[in-house]
């Protein structure tokens, strides 16, 4: 088995802020500032043609091999190579031989004193180059299309990393409050923490009122405000959020899909409460009773499994599910499915279609309020 090399680094993923941050930290660690004129060579891969890609690969290979022969230490940074991001270029036969040569060099190990860093937003995880870095080098993957749990985990890791740099601390409930408001984008998290530090004027412990006063919602948070307004059956707030999102060019289909996903989250919670598989719990959100085998297996296969969901989010969903019946949720889902079909087939204004559908989906609001008032 090939030994892992400490001098081959792939930093990839569509979280460009973290990719840039990791690249900068690696440069600072490997190349002292006074040596960067000769100790750092940047090969800019942001090119447009096949010939430019070939020249880029040739320059990268030459920098790795020739400097090693003369015994000088150097970090070669292949920056955002187009042949990884552009599928048309990646399929070119002319690139196969030089890419194979680079892959073989990574697997064999670089000459002593030489380091290679490749940064890219896109790379196929099944490609030979990615596998070579995984087997013989180091991969730091800030990928996209992650599941919700992975997105939250990455955001928490970044928050933990960034807080000490600003000399701030947060209790767990405040962390949850901050992420719920700022969202999971690392650039947004860093920006909002900088604002918090300036707002406080000093290092120390962040309080809930600090979050409420200064932290703005990111793109993720804005759509979550919209989704939460639907879950709470707050029609006035829902329409206000809808108009704001549409003014920001949010895609109507995405909004419809997001609401349908929320209904699909609320339905099993409402079902679990009705069947007494679980009961509300002020601390954990839900306290689960022994479950039938098939129900336990179904919950385990869900993403996320409600039993493993963070308390802050689960409490929010349980509170929203309490305002619906199973039948009302199924009717709402029916209206949302119909709305999505109309958005792609009707000539009527999309804003009008969305508002009418949402009014219909929340049509039982007054009845639900009366029922809750009577129960109280």
User: Which residue ranges does the chain devote to CATH 1.20.272.10?
Assistant: 231-368
User: Which residues fall within 8 angstroms of residue 181, CB to CB, at 6 or more apart?
Assistant: 192, 211, 215, 216, 217, 221
Q: Which helix (H) or strand (E) holds 218?
A: none
Is residue 369 scored above 50 in pLDDT?
Answer: no
Range scoring the smallest mean pLDDT among 250-254, 317-321, 363-367: 363-367
Q: Strand, helix or coil at 15?
A: coil
**C-beta atoms surrounding 28 within 10 Å:** 11
Q: What local confidence, expressed as pLDDT, does residue 330 receive?
A: 94
Q: For the segment 342-360, what is each residue's pLDDT rounded down to a tens digit?
A: 888 888 888 888 998 899 8
Is residue 368 scored above 50 in pLDDT?
Answer: no
Mean pLDDT of the region 61-89: 79
| Residues above pLDDT 90, as percent of the chain | 35
| CA 257 – CA 327 distance, rounded (Å) | 20
User: Which residue ranges does the chain devote to CATH 3.40.50.300?
Assistant: 8-141
| Residues above pLDDT 70, as percent of the chain | 90
pLDDT band at 80; cut points 50, 70, 90: very high
Q: For the segment 209-225, what is each residue's pLDDT rounded down to a tens digit?
A: 999 888 876 555 568 88
Q: For the segment 311-344, what is each residue's pLDDT rounded down to a tens digit?
A: 777 888 899 999 999 999 999 999 999 998 888 8
Mean pLDDT of the region 42-64: 90
Of 104, 136, 140, give the one whose Cα is nearest residue 18.
Answer: 140
Is residue 375 scored above 80 in pLDDT?
Answer: no
Mean pLDDT of the region 104-129: 89
Range scoring the smallest mean pLDDT among 2-11, 240-249, 256-265: 2-11
In 109-247, which residue ranges form alpha helices assigned H by DSSP? 128-136, 148-162, 172-182, 186-200, 208-214, 219-231, 235-247
User: Which residue ranges does the chain devote to CATH 1.10.8.60?
Assistant: 148-217
Q: What local confidence, expressed as pLDDT, does residue 145 receive?
A: 62
Q: What local confidence, expressed as pLDDT, does residue 23 receive?
A: 93
- Which pair of structure tokens corresponds to residue 257? 């899909």
Q: What local confidence, expressed as pLDDT, does residue 2 receive?
A: 40
Q: What local confidence, expressed as pLDDT, does residue 365 receive?
A: 46
Mean pLDDT of the region 84-113: 86
pLDDT, averaged across the chain: 84
Is residue 68 scored above 80 in pLDDT?
Answer: no
Of 314, 361, 305, 371, give the one whose Cα is nearest residue 338.
Answer: 361
Range scoring the smallest mean pLDDT among 12-16, 181-185, 289-293: 181-185
Is residue 168 scored above 90 in pLDDT?
Answer: yes
Q: What local confidence, expressed as pLDDT, does residue 222 receive?
A: 64
Q: Is the peptide bond before 304 cis (omega within 30 degrees of 0)?
A: yes
Range scoring the smallest mean pLDDT among 63-67, 106-110, 292-296, 332-336: 63-67
Taking domain 231-368, whether its CATH number is 3.90.1150.10 is answered by no
Q: What local confidence, expressed as pLDDT, does residue 288 receive?
A: 85
184 and 154 in contact (C-beta within 8 Å)? yes
Question: CA angle, corner 95, sides to 91 and 97, nearest 5?
Answer: 125
Taking domain 8-141, whether its CATH number is 3.40.50.300 is answered by yes
Q: Which helix (H) or strand (E) holds 75?
A: strand 74-79
Q: What local confidence, expressed as pLDDT, does residue 72 receive?
A: 63
HEC string of 263-330 equals HHHHHHHHHHHHCCCEEEECCCEEEECCCCHHHHHHHHHCCCCHHHCCHHHHHHHHHHHCCCCHHHHH
Q: Under CATH, which architecture does the 148-217 domain have?
A: Orthogonal Bundle (1.10)
| CA 35 – CA 73 distance, rounded (Å) | 10
């Amino acid at each position: 088995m090939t030994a892992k090399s400490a001098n081959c680094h792939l930093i990839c993923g569509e979280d460009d802020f973290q990719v840039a941050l990791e690249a900068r930290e690696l440069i600072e660690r490997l190349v002292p500032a006074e040596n960067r004129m000769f100790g750092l060579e940047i090969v800019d891969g942001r090119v447009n043609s096949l010939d430019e890609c070939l020249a880029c690969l040739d320059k990268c290979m030459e920098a790795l091999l020739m400097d090693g022969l003369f015994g000088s230490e150097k970090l070669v940074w292949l920056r955002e190579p187009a042949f990884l991001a552009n599928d048309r270029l990646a399929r070119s036969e002319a690139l196969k031989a030089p890419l194979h040569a680079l892959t073989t060099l990574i697997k064999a190990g670089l000459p002593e004193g030489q380091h290679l860093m490749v940064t890219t937003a896109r790379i196929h995880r099944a490609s030979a180059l990615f596998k070579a870095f995984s087997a013989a080098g180091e991969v730091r993957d800030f990928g996209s299309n992650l599941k919700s749990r992975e997105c939250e985990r990455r955001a928490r890791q970044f928050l933990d990393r960034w807080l000490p740099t600003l000399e701030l601390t947060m209790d767990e409930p405040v962390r949850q409050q901050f992420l719920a408001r700022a969202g999971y984008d690392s650039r947004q998290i860093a920006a909002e923490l900088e604002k918090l530090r300036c707002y406080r004027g000093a290092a120390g412990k962040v309080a809930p009122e600090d979050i409420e006063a200064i932290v703005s919602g990111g793109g993720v948070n804005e759509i979550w405000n919209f989704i939460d307004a639907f879950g709470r059956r707050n029609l006035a707030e829902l329409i206000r959020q809808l108009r704001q999102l549409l003014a920001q060019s949010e895609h109507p289909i995405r909004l419809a899909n997001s609401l349908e996903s929320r209904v699909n989250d609320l339905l099993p919670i409402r079902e679990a409460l009705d069947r007494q598989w679980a009961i509300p719990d002020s601390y954990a959100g839900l306290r689960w009773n022994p479950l039938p085998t098939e129900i336990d297996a179904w919950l385990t296969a869900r993403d996320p499994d409600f039993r493993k969901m963070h308390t802050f989010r689960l409490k929010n969903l349980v509170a929203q599910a309490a305002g619906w019946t199973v039948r009302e949720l199924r009717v709402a889902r029916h209206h949302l499915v119909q709305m999505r079909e109309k958005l792609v087939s009707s000539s009527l204004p999309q804003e009008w279609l969305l508002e009418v559908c949402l009014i219909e989906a929340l049509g039982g609001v007054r009845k639900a309020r009366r029922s809750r008032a009577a129960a109280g």
